[in-house]
Amino acid sequence: MTSDDLERQSVTLLQELIRFDTVNPPGNERAAIEHLERYLSEAGFDTEILAAEPERPNLVATLDGQGDGPVLVLLGHVDTVLADASEWRHDPWSGDEADGFIWGRGALDMKNQVATEAVAAASLAGQGWRPASGALKLVFVADEETGGDVGAHWLTDTHPDKVRCDFLLNEGAGEVFEYGGRRRYGVCCGEKGIFRFNVTALGTAGHASMPRLGDNALLKLAPVLNALAHQPESFDLTEAPAAMLRVLGEDPGDLSAAMMHIEAEEPRLRTLVEPMLGVTLTPTMASASSKMNVIPSRAQVRIDCRVPPGLGEDAVWRRIHQVLGEPTDQLRIDFTEQVVGNSSSPESVMMTAIE
């Protein structure tokens, strides 16, 4: 099969998938999943449909090799976010091809990848190709956009043996960018954790007409916001960003210099790369008095904090101390979310294949 044939087949399958309305909620992914099941079983895959809810099934399609070996999963979801047809030039479920583009909700996230993976794997399988050992699995799931309770979460909780794997390729990353005169493709092998917290200032309420009467909690947030606006540089370098810097020709041993160099070459890239190198503290919401004429006894700013994979509360506190100093009786810090990010090593057989 020529690459033109593969492209044409991928476009056709993408258009077919777009025409199934799988907006989640409610999802209703059954028809799309069954369509993929037919397509892959005709190509020689062993297929299995597994569902927590009848209208929202998941597909596991397996091509076994001879004997034990590593299992590679290509993971995709067939549900999409909402679409308001009145805001679209082409119907979001038409799959129309116009001006060299395929139109439709899910064309980018991520029926395109599902279609191309299915076509690539089916064409290999149809030609009689089998993995030398282990297995290739295509796992296409429902319910990614709203948390995976009947999709990936349910599948791994309920049927771990059917989806256990050594390597897994999912959506995200892969965007092309230019650096140092060369085309580069990003590979995402980790995700930062989230440690959101509130900074609460305490004071004494009073009437706004007599400012000295109370102890205005809102004013105590001024130095906090000022410190957040002028954060000193600080890094917590982890394995994946270090590998990326090396590939870009930068020295992970001197991150300040690397950032300055990237900034000089391509300022937009610094904006993307710098947050990968450490804990970020970003104030996003604030509140104080609920009445115009009342001096607040309490004022709060909420901080969206992201932490390199593998690092936890210790790293967050180090950064808080550095930027905001010690909490006090009048200035409290409380975490509202704590999730440690996870990552895979950027050195693996799969990474070598991707390179």
- Decide: residue 74, CB within 10 A, 0-12 exposed, 13-18 middle, 19+ buried: buried
Asked if 79 is an active-site residue, the reply is: yes
Cβ of residue 59: shortest distance to Zn ion, in angstroms?
16
Cβ of residue 109: shortest distance to Zn ion, in angstroms?
4
Cβ of residue 121: shortest distance to Zn ion, in angstroms?
19
Nearer to Zn ion, 37 or 79 (CB): 79
Residue among 21, 29, 79, 143 flagged as catalytic: 79
CA dist 49 → 144, 157, 164, 258 (Å): 17, 16, 16, 49
Subset of 255-274 contacting Zn ion (CB under 5 A): none
Rounded distance, CA 321 to CA 217, Å?
A: 21
Q: Looking at 11-19, 63-71, 168-176, 240-248, which segment touches Zn ion (CB under 5 A)? A: 168-176
- Chain centre distance of CA 270: 19
SS3 of 51, please? strand
Asked if 53 is an active-site residue, the reply is: no
Q: Looking at 11-19, 132-140, 164-172, 245-253, which segment touches Zn ion (CB under 5 A)? A: 164-172
Nearest to 116 by CA among 236, 186, 210, 36: 36
| Contact call for residue 189 and Zn ion (CB under 5 A) | no
HSE value, Cβ hemisphere, 13 Å, CA-based, for 304: 7
Residue among 21, 117, 143, 144 flagged as catalytic: 144
CA dist 334 → 84, 158, 201, 278, 289 (Å): 39, 35, 11, 21, 20
Binding residues for Zn ion, rule CB under 5 A, total 3
Cβ of residue 113: shortest distance to Zn ion, in angstroms?
9
Subset of 59-118 contacting Zn ion (CB under 5 A): 109-110
Shortest-Cβ-distance residue relative to Zn ion: 109
- Chain centre distance of CA 249: 26
Interface residue list for Zn ion (CB under 5 A): 109-110, 171
Active site members: 79, 144
